Chain A
């Protein structure tokens, strides 16, 4: 793993127009990925995790205003257009939660898989099809030649998601943006997809931004995990320390709210209230303050900045004070 960052997003702030009103969806998001590194992006509905991936992939909806900078391999890509933007996008692939919503149901899988190679890279048909079959083998689909002839409705959801991964990787990207790619699949299929992504990443040095609502899944497969709340990153931490030494009360509260497969608790420690969307976040205080068990006066005084602490980053005004007191302990 090289130490030179592949992706450096700094101070990303994104505003969308919704019914004529300007609504912030990201607030000052900064994120770094090194080549071959897997970073998890965890949050609830409206936290901005998908929008972060869209901003990085230069896939924001029309009319979106973006401030901040995105550098990829040392080059500023925030202002690219036309040919340069297409070239950037061929290095950054994206897969989504619902594969059926992102594939044309009346086109054969083979045409879908080879489209980018043939139109953007001028690869001849026979070679493109061979490369597609080879890539299908890498996502554990052995009878690739037969699959190329099939339509999306003829394969299962797990198989289709593997085909989407193959399609995303065919053009040899350096960064994969994976937006909840296993959320609509059952656990055994999820394990298969994760095994494939993990293997591909280790073989090819592909970096991955893995978006999920599942803190345990992110912690299990990513090197580092970033936790988002109300359009901001509130914590970045080595995944191995996320549960044992969280730096932000929201991370700790999320981990504690989750039922534990190894034991039954009398009551789950639910977080009161509901998650805030970025546009609902207060302008001059911590967005998590109304739900936080550790709230104090300082939390209401200003939006907390990011604090570097113990090898991680926390956006908590009391991060130093609370260090070591946030660990998720079973409560019998």
Chain B
């Protein structure tokens, strides 16, 4: 990560994904600078998760390009080392902490595997880094050695975050990663994500339908509707003065004192 602070760590250009005649993502372009956070919001089926899956490499774009740290990742990797490098560029934490971990692997083993694969460090250095990472996400010694089934949802999500961070990615995609957490735990995890960004200059892509979470974590916001970008701008502007009817509808749907829900 030698780029200056102005350079984009992630560049997405003219990205499309069609499933048969259905356009899930239609001509999406954006750049994400180092150490910044971009939120992608929209209703169910707007294309948020398909976009994330293409960026991380789980879905191949129909057309368009994705580049992270200056390397193209729109086509499948040609070698194992190419694949590993991509893993150090972009990682993802999914919504459901109950299905995204290997049920037979504790946190330490999950992190150790990533450190071996991506950095090839000797055991002593890996050991030290595991302690650093589990401390960073607030897992104690017992929790770090417990299997996922012995952990709560919030604890599992911390394991998933620690494992994603172990690859030292330049970009971390958070796909509804805090949605399933209890309110008091969600605040802890959001503070943790802000701390990690301050310490490591990591960039986040935050996929969320919770606009309050978006306000807290994202500098810029991009609104998707039927696969296309309908509005983008600084998060405060998009939420305080939404211009597109889709954004206005999302904003009006958020419960608040005196809120009268209306049929859309």
What residues make up the interface of A, taking CB atoms closer than 8 Å to B? 44-45, 140, 156-157, 185-192, 194-196, 198, 213-217, 219-221, 240, 243, 253-254, 257-265, 267-271, 274-275, 291
Residue in A closest to B216 when the chains form the complex, CB atoms: A259
Q: Is the CB of B263 within 8 A of A195?
A: yes
With a cutoff of 8 Å between Cβ atoms, the chain A residues found around residue B256 in the complex are: 216, 220, 261
Stretch at the interface among B13-21, B62-70, B117-125, B185-193: B185-193
Q: In whole Å, how far is B255's beta carbon from the nearest beta carbon of chain A?
A: 4
Residue from B212, B260, B264 in contact with A259 in the complex, judged by beta carbons closer than 8 Å = B212
* Complexed CA–CA distance, A263 and B256 (Å): 14
B236 touches A264 (CB 8 A): yes
Determine how close the nearest CB of chain A comes to the CB of B144; give it in whole angstroms. Answer: 16
Provide the bound-state CA to CA distance between A14 and B263, in Å. Answer: 39
Interface pair A274/B154, CB less than 8 Å apart: yes
- For chain B, what secondary structure do more than half of its interface residues adopt (helix, strand, loop), or is it mixed? helix
**How far does the alpha carbon of A240 sit from the alpha carbon of B258 in the complex, in Å?**
8
Expressed in whole angstroms, the Cα–Cα distance for A156 and B44 within the complex equals: 10
Nearest chain-B residue to A255 (Cβ)? B183
Compute how far the CA of A274 lies from the CA of B186 in the bound complex, rounded to whole angstroms. 11
Chain B 181-215 interface mask (CB, 8 Å, partner A; 1/0): 01111111011001000000000000001111101
Q: Which residues of B contact A259 (CB under 8 A)?
A: 187, 190, 212-213, 215-216
Q: In whole angstroms, how far apart are the Cα atoms of A219 and B257 in the complex? A: 7
Q: Check if A45 sits within 8 Å of B153, measured CB to CB.
A: yes
- Collect the chain A residues with CB atoms within 8 Å of residue B182's CB: 44-45, 213, 274-275
Closest to B182 in A: A44
A140 to B264, CA, bound (A): 11
- Are B257 and A243 neighbours in the complex by a CB distance under 8 Å? yes
Closest to B219 in A: A264
- Minimum CB–CB distance from A254 to chain B (whole Å) comes to 6
- Residues in B with CB closer than 8 Å to A216 are 255-257
B7 within 8 Å of A (CB atoms): no
A186 to B187 Cα, complex, angstroms: 20
Chain B 237-254 near chain A by CB (<8 Å), digits 1 or 0? 001100000000110111
Also in contact, A257 and B258, with CB within 8 A (given A45-B153, A157-B44, A191-B253): no
Nearest chain B CB to A267's CB is how many angstroms away? 5
Chain B residues bordering chain A, tally (CB within 8 A): 41
Instruction: Give the nearest-CB partner of B194 in chain A.
Output: A267
Question: B212 near A188 (CB under 8 angstroms)?
Answer: no
Contacts of A188 in B (CB 8 A): 43, 249-250, 253, 264
Give the CA-CA distance A220 to B254 in the complex, in Å.
10
Does B152 have its Cβ within 8 Å of any Cβ on chain A? yes
| Interface assignment of B259: CB less than 8 Å from any CB of chain A | yes
B262 close to chain A: CB less than 8 A: yes
* Chain A: minimal CB distance from B198 (Å): 11
B210 cross-chain contacts in A, Cβ below 8 A: 187
Q: Is the CB of B213 within 8 A of A187?
A: no
Q: How far is the CA of A186 from the CA of B260 in the complex (A)?
A: 17
Interface residues of B in 22-66 (CB under 8 A from A): 43-44
In the complex with contacts A44-B184, A187-B209, A253-B184, A196-B264 CB distance below 8 A: no
Give min CB distance, B173 to chain A, whole Å.
19
* B contact residues around A214 at 8 Å (CB): 183, 255
Closest chain A residue to B45 by CB distance? Answer: A156
CA separation between A275 and B186, bound complex, in Å?
12
Report the Cα distance A214→B254, complex, angstroms. 11
Residues of chain B within 8 A (CB-CB) of A195 are 260-263
Chain B residues lying within 8 Å of A269, measured Cβ to Cβ, are 187
Q: Are A263 and B257 touching (Cβ within 8 A)?
A: no
Residues A213 and B183 in contact in the complex (CB < 8 Å), given A191-B252, A262-B240: yes
A residues in contact with B190, CB < 8 Å: 259, 268, 270
- What B residues does A194 contact at CB under 8 A? 255, 261
A-contacting residues, B145-186, CB 8 Å? 152-154, 182-186
B215 and A271 contact, CB distance less than 8 A: no
- Per-residue 0/1 for B211-232: is the Cβ within 8 Å of any A Cβ (1 yes, 0 no)? 1110110000000000000000
Which of chain A's residues have a CB closer than 8 A to the CB of B263?
Answer: 140, 192, 195-196
Contact B258 A186 (CB under 8 A): no
A198 to B188, CA, bound (A): 33
The 4 closest A-B pairs by CB, nearest first: A270-B187, A194-B261, A259-B216, A271-B184
